[in-house]
């Protein structure tokens, strides 16, 4: 089973900003995006924001010139399951209708063998112009599908049809077209009332799978009122659980006392200490995959007091003795009986990220390590973004800086592929 992929051509129009929301929502639905930014589109959104959200390289005029030898137009235009143009400007649609190919976007549109969805956006008069309406007729006759435009106030101050459809509406149209590819081709056969199993599986590639996710910090007691903990917010773990849930997995979410609330729709098991976390993971087994995103305390206090420690007149500070906590990731990875098919660990490193994380992957025995740079100035701890490298047995893959939910969606997509 392959992941769903959309080739998204971003035309030049004020509505291009809405496409950023669309890319994020596609990611949340497990739909990968190959972004293509036209020269005019780049006037409205930056290649950096598009690539950060999509987690992919943006293909633009520069790509056209420098990387053409690596990946031809034809391959790029056919590697996706669906081509989406948003905003589809009057100019882009006119070129398409005429079969012109004078830049990367129009060339891809002429070279593709996939269905095309257009989300037009333009000034009311331009939309109503006979030339545009004639082009729309031609494009429809050629098999292109349309979503919108909506009627409303325009950025130019006029009112009428021409506003690009909202991202949610475009997303629905995309999912409908992706699902339609899996329906029987014969037009004479009535459409089934229920989607065939392949369509359901495509939408929810992890349906029927069980994944354990650990998240958040642990708290190791010193006495009944004091503890040792760390700054983990649980944001990345929560996002991973949500992304796996969105792909249809049953998720056992074993969380320490985290700042970020657990997502809805997962089985939440709240723990406090590393020992409790290990026991909760054991109780949640068997699982198809385990993602260990928790920041487990390496040590616990060996001589924790049964009642509150008091200051005494001597002024002497109490001496704490430490003992090592169980390494949950290493334990799960090395299970001889009932080891999950895929075990994913995290490695937060401040230096020699790849070397240290690769060594950790081998030492602990997990399949993948998500290495994240938590060096000074990265803002990873408690922040909304993460810069990670996925380390597997076959190599390393550096992902661009992305929001944690984007990292989660991409990782969940990879897990779905690995389990398929
Ligand atoms: O050794 P280190 O703490 O850097 O390893 C990080 C990875 O190991 C994370 O995936 C974390 O969840 C996991 N871990 C664990 N149990 C521990 C320590 C770390 O599961 N006691």
In this structure, what DSSP letter does residue 64 have?
Answer: H
Which whole-number Å values give the CA distances from 355 to 71, 233, 345, 358, in the listed order?
31, 26, 15, 5
Q: Which atom of ligand 1 is closest in space to residue 298's alpha carbon?
A: 21
Q: Who wins on pLDDT, 165 or 161?
A: 165
Using CA atoms of 362, 363, 365, 370 in order, give the dihedral in degrees to the nearest 10: -70
pLDDT digits (tens, 9 = 90+) for 87-96: 999 999 999 9
| 156 has catalytic annotation | yes
Using CA atoms of 181, 187, 193, 195 in order, give the dihedral in degrees to the nearest 10: -20
- The rounded percent of the chain whose pLDDT value lies above 90 is 59
Q: Ligand 1 pocket: which of 278, 345, 380 to mutate (most atoms <8 Å of CB)?
A: 345
Determine contact, residues 297/323, Cβ cutoff 8 Å.
no
- CB distance 214 to ligand 1 below 6 Å: yes
pLDDT of 188 > 60? The answer is no
368: its two tokens: 């993948």
- pLDDT at residue number 184: 41
Task: Give strand pairing partners of 390.
Answer: 370, 397
pLDDT of 384 > 50? The answer is yes
Mean per-residue pLDDT for 168-192? 66
Determine contact, residues 313/348, Cβ cutoff 8 Å.
no
Q: Who wins on pLDDT, 199 or 307?
A: 307
Taking each continuous run of H as one helix and of E as one strand, the counts in the chain are: 15, 21
180: its two tokens: 């339609």
Q: Who wins on pLDDT, 350 or 35?
A: 35
Q: Ligand 1 pocket: which of 292, 298, 349, 367 to mutate (most atoms <8 Å of CB)?
A: 292
pLDDT digits (tens, 9 = 90+) for 19-32: 999 999 998 888 99
For ligand 1, the distance from its centroid to the CA atom of residue 292, given in whole angstroms, is 7
Catalytic residue among 48, 155, 156, 168: 156
Helix residue ranges per DSSP H, 56-183: 61-66, 73-78, 90-98, 104-111, 124-128, 130-141, 167-180
Determine contact, residues 213/239, Cβ cutoff 8 Å.
no
Q: What is the enclosing helix (H) or strand (E) of 410?
A: helix 404-419
- pLDDT at residue number 60: 78
Give every CB contact of residue 263 below 8 A, 6+ residues apart in sequence: 238, 239, 241, 242, 245, 253
pLDDT of 202 > 60? The answer is no
Mean per-residue pLDDT for 230-235? 91
Residue whose CA lies nearest to ligand 1 atom number 5: 347
- CB distance 297 to ligand 1 below 6 Å: no
Q: Who wins on pLDDT, 197 or 312?
A: 312
User: CA 74 to CA 228: how far, in whole Å?
Assistant: 57
User: CA 299 to CA 127: how far, in whole Å?
Assistant: 66
């Amino acid at each position: 089973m392959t992941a769903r992929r959309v080739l998204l051509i971003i035309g030049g129009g004020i509505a291009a900003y809405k496409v950023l929301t669309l890319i994020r929502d596609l990611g949340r639905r497990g739909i990968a995006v190959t972004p293509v930014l036209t020269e005019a589109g780049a006037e409205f959104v930056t290649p950096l924001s598009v690539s950060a959200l999509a987690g992919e390289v943006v293909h633009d005029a520069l790509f056209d010139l420098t990387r053409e030898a690596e990946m031809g137009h034809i391959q790029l235009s056919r590697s996706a399951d669906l081509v989406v143009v948003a905003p589809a400007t009057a100019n882009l649609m006119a070129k398409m209708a005429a079969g012109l190919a004078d830049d990367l976007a129009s060339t891809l549109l002429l070279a593709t063998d996939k269905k095309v969805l257009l989300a037009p956006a333009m000034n009311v008069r331009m939309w109503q112009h006979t030339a545009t309406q004639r082009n729309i007729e031609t494009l429809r006759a050629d098999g292109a599908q349309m979503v919108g435009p909506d009627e409303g106030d325009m950025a130019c101050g006029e009112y009428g049809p021409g506003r690009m459809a909202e991202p949610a509406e475009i997303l629905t149209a995309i999912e409908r077209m992706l699902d339609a590819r899996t329906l029987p081709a014969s037009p004479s056969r009535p459409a089934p009332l229920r989607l065939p199993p392949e369509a359901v599986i495509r939408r929810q590639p992890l349906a029927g799978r069980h994944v354990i996710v650990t998240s958040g910090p642990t708290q190791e007691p010193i006495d009944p009122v004091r503890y040792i903990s760390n700054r983990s917010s649980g944001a990345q773990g929560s996002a991973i659980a949500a992304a796996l849930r969105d792909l249809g997995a049953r998720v056992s979410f074993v969380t320490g006392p985290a700042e970020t609330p657990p997502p809805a729709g997962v089985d939440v098991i709240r723990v406090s200490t590393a020992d409790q976390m290990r026991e909760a993971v054991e109780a949640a087994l068997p699982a198809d995959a385990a993602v260990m995103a928790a920041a487990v305390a390496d040590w616990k206090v060996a001589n924790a007091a049964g009642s509150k420690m008091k200051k005494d007149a001597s002024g002497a500070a109490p001496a704490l003795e430490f003992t090592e906590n169980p390494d949950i990731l290493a334990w799960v990875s090395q299970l001889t009986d009932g080891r999950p098919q895929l075990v994913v660990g995290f490695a937060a490193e401040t230096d020699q990220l790849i070397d240290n994380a690769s060594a950790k992957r081998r030492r602990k025995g997990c399949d993948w390590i998500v290495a994240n740079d938590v060096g000074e100035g990265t803002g990873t701890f408690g922040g909304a973004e993460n810069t990670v490298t996925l380390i597997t047995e076959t190599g390393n893959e550096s992902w661009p800086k992305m929001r944690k939910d984007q990292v989660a969606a991409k990782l969940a997509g990879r897990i779905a592929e690995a389990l398929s």
